[in-house]
Amino acid sequence: MTRSRLRSLFTVIALLCVALVIPACAVRPDTEDFDVTLVNVAPGGTSGGVGEASLRFTIRLQNANPQPVSLTGSAHRIHINGVYVGQALSNAQTEVPRLGTITEEITVFLSTFKLARALYGVYRDQIASYRITSTLYGSTSTFRTRKEGSIDLRALGDLATPIHGP
């Protein structure tokens, strides 16, 4: 192999390494410095027809960084009882204060067929679990978070039983 071809090969390898390393520096995978949690769910206003419904999710953005974080948009994938039901996209520009929280409303367009499957699992198992995987696009970096939670509906049944006096 000639010296010029060898130099070209090393140049290509170096450029590939730089192309792979620089984006990795800007993305913080599953960071503990930034968190997204589900706060509330309410019916949405619009839908695309029989196969689609919308829900408004209120999410809490928590910034554990000592600097404020300016966000230019976000994407959130919602799973209920392990079933992917939809995604919310937001192009809202907002700032999360340093060591602070804000809430934001997002609209998720759901497949009613997938939602019915997920809700049947909730009915059958009496456990409602969710997972929200979020990508938040900031002016200087991207944050990826994943949050899971569940509610045992059987325990709520005991609380919902009316108490009768003697």
> What does the DSSP assignment read for the chain?
--HHHHHHHHHHHHHHHHHHHHHHHHEETT-SSEEEEEEEEEE-S--SBTTEEEEEEEEEEEE-SSS-EEEEEEEEEEEETTEEEEEEEE---EEEPTTEEEEEEEEEEEEHHHHHHHHHHHHHHSEEEEEEEEEEEESS-EEEEEEEEEEEHHHHHHHHSPPPP-
pLDDT reported for residue 114: 80
Higher pLDDT, 132 or 114: 132
Q: What is the pLDDT of residues 22-61, one digit of tens each?
A: 333 334 444 568 889 888 888 876 666 677 888 888 999 9
**Domains by residue range for the chain, with CATH:** 28-150 (2.60.40.1820)
pLDDT reported for residue 51: 79
pLDDT reported for residue 113: 81
pLDDT band at 1 (very low <50, low <70, confident <90, very high): low
Q: What is the pLDDT of residues 64-103, one digit of tens each?
A: 989 999 999 999 998 888 888 889 999 999 999 999 999 9
Q: What average pLDDT is seen over the chain?
A: 76
Question: Which pTM does this prediction carry?
Answer: 0.70
pLDDT reported for residue 124: 86
pLDDT band at 162 (very low <50, low <70, confident <90, very high): very low
Whether the per-residue pLDDT at 144 is higher than 90: the answer is yes
